[in-house]
Amino acid sequence: MGALKNHAIRLNSRPAGLPVTGDFELVESEIPTPGTGQVLVRNLYMSVDPYMRGRMADRKSYTPPFQLGEVLQGGAVGRVAASNGNSDFAAGDYVLSMNGWREWFVSGSEDLTKIDVSIAPPRAYLGALGMTGLTAYAGLISIAGLNKDDRVFVSAAAGAVGSIACQIARNMGCEIVVGSAGTEEKCAWLTRELKIRDAINYRETKNLSAAIADVMPGGIDVYFDNVGGSQLEAALDNMRQGGRIAVCGMIEQYNAVEPPRAPRNLANVLTRRLTMRGFIVLDHLDMRERFLSDMRDWIAEGKITWRETVVDGIEHAPEALIGLFKGDNIGKMLVKLADDEG
Amino acid sequence: MGALKNHAIRLNSRPAGLPVTGDFELVESEIPTPGTGQVLVRNLYMSVDPYMRGRMADRKSYTPPFQLGEVLQGGAVGRVAASNGNSDFAAGDYVLSMNGWREWFVSGSEDLTKIDVSIAPPRAYLGALGMTGLTAYAGLISIAGLNKDDRVFVSAAAGAVGSIACQIARNMGCEIVVGSAGTEEKCAWLTRELKIRDAINYRETKNLSAAIADVMPGGIDVYFDNVGGSQLEAALDNMRQGGRIAVCGMIEQYNAVEPPRAPRNLANVLTRRLTMRGFIVLDHLDMRERFLSDMRDWIAEGKITWRETVVDGIEHAPEALIGLFKGDNIGKMLVKLADDEG
């Protein structure tokens, strides 16, 4: 075995429809050396998220597109391996960055955030305690204006964002929280572990709209939409007057080659005075302190839990990303890049 | 010629698609006699509005459906012909009511609102100074949160609501106000008389989205949607980040027999963080005083104008209503029921 090398994943070609592994390329290089004032970080875990699919297309979206032939980017947690005179970070510190899709990197302080591993393990900062959890929090509180009397429906409820959204709604006092998911195992997790009122296996349901009406006869006040398309349409059928839809994701159509199927009952926005509002977590970073404080309390009280689906080795990161669109994950999908030897 | 009779229009059958005159029936009866404490009102003008199409279907909407064989309802202005001891209204008073689609009616005070004809003629209270104007006002101010820097697009801009919305936006300081309409005459009225920045004849435009981009290269901050469907889709293409869509009407699909065409770019709600909010003027009646006060000022300053398309005689009211869906009207469509002999 030779000396330790650095590995990273580059975007090889822009996917048409669902990405394939050939759209990605594993590249090997030397482990970089930190310049003066820089640190060397070894990533422990990296995040794969549905929004990354959008950045693989060469079109305007809320983040600029990934460039062909360049190493991809995304959330990662790592550990400082060496500091070349950096005054903010010392060897052994755990850090969060957007320098995922690579095993090692050098950086100044500006790209790094120190994380508190006394609350939860580092990888939780890519999921429940990270952007994923904050997305659920901001969507419910700031976008949907959740209050305890709301009846809440969450799509992709066993996903990274959805599973936290379900529990935040429950913790805020909402008695009727219902989620949709694509397997019986996911549904069982939602009702038994996350303790929400009901879960609908949308793959086993012929008529999702009727299935929602069945378990939520009073209708939906707040729909946390991670899916769009057919699930949005089913939710629109069941929205109560004055209902709010927080549009967080539209995973159903991220890989669409044809223009996607659109909800044909959009007129309900008018007749039921609905508010439908899209949001991006990056606009809500000011809520991060409040979010972490609530999460700390909920963790201490045993009122929040999460699961991770961990794929081992950077060479499998493309498969992990592709798996998101097939529903391979329960909870947050992560790629493990190194053992934490701290 | 016999004695004066009362005429009214009943709903004969529920329209399938665009209503036809056979869906309506003209009925004759005696002029009613006011009971003790009641007044007899002779209607001068009645309103026909697109929302009435929704009430002709036997389905849940924001107002209960019209009943077959019953006289229709809708806004009307009239004059008290006789009072049988009513202490609030005297013969000669001008009143607004929801007792349209009939020439005469008797009522207690509870269904009547006195109107101030010193500001504008009675029929204006069915349009610019009535629910129509308030709809435009509430939609822009309360739903879209209009401010003077917004770039505003209004569909059906030469219609009753749209033409007032254009001028309110202009009066509130918005420099870029653009409307869509279906004839050159309407477009000329919008730019020359209502003095908005530009007007697009959507019937002459092959690609409405490109046409909007052409005259609003900076995009749309606020879209006041009266149309839905293809115009909503074109607007969604051009919305700026953080844009707001006030969903006031979806006239394009009120007569749809098939589920309507839906915008296939709804994902822009997410990627551009849009807020799309449906509303009903009845939820905003608390803005009426402020609205009338602003309108009084704008009228005095010559800063608001309106047009009416008047159809003569109750027997033509069904055609007037049907004409709304063909774009027969410029400004408010009214039916004249009697001369004002006051």
Q: Which two tokens stand for residue B157?
A: 């801009």
Question: pLDDT tens-digit profile of A52-83?
Answer: 998 999 877 667 899 999 999 999 999 999 99
Contact of B89 with B270, CB cutoff 8 Å: no
Contacts 24+ apart (CB under 8 A), B290-295: B291/B133, B291/B134, B291/B137, B291/B138, B292/B129, B294/B137, B295/B119, B295/B128, B295/B129, B295/B133
Domains of chain A: 6-127+307-336 (3.90.180.10), 131-284+292-299 (3.40.50.720)
Contact of B126 with B332, CB cutoff 8 Å: yes
3-state secondary structure of A318: helix
Report chain A's C-alpha Rg in angstroms. 21
Q: Which two tokens stand for residue B230?
A: 């293809």
**Does any CB of chain A come closer than 8 Å to the CB of residue B249?**
yes
**Does any CB of chain B come closer than 8 Å to the CB of residue A263?**
yes
- Give the global pTM: 0.91
CA atoms within 13 A on the CB side of B246: 27
Nearest-Cα residue of chain B relative to residue A143: B275
- Residue B339 pLDDT > 90, yes or no? yes
Nearest to B234 by CA among B220, B248, B247, B244: B220
ipTM: 0.87
Say whether B266 and A262 touch across the interface (CB within 8 A). Answer: yes
**From B232, B248, B267, residue closest to A228, measured CB to CB:** B267
**Does any CB of chain B come closer than 8 Å to the CB of residue A84?**
no
Nearest to B317 by CA among B59, B27, B112: B27
Say whether A247 and B270 touch across the interface (CB within 8 A). Answer: yes
Q: How far is B257 from chain A (nearest CA, A)?
A: 12
Which pLDDT tens digits describe chain A residue by residue (342 residues)? 457 999 999 999 999 999 999 999 999 999 999 999 999 999 999 999 999 998 999 877 667 899 999 999 999 999 999 999 999 999 999 999 999 999 999 999 999 999 999 989 999 999 999 999 999 999 999 999 999 999 999 999 999 999 999 999 999 999 999 999 999 999 999 999 999 999 999 999 999 999 999 999 999 999 999 999 999 999 999 999 999 999 999 888 877 777 777 888 999 999 999 999 999 999 999 999 999 999 999 999 999 999 999 999 999 999 999 999 999 999 999 999 999 875
Q: B332: phi > 0 → left, psi -120 to 50 → alpha, else beta; which?
A: beta
Nearest to A75 by CA among A10, A131, A134: A131
Distance in angstroms (rounded) separating the CA atoms of residues B210 and B35 = 61
**Does any CB of chain A come closer than 8 Å to the CB of residue B236?**
no
pLDDT confidence of residue B2: 59
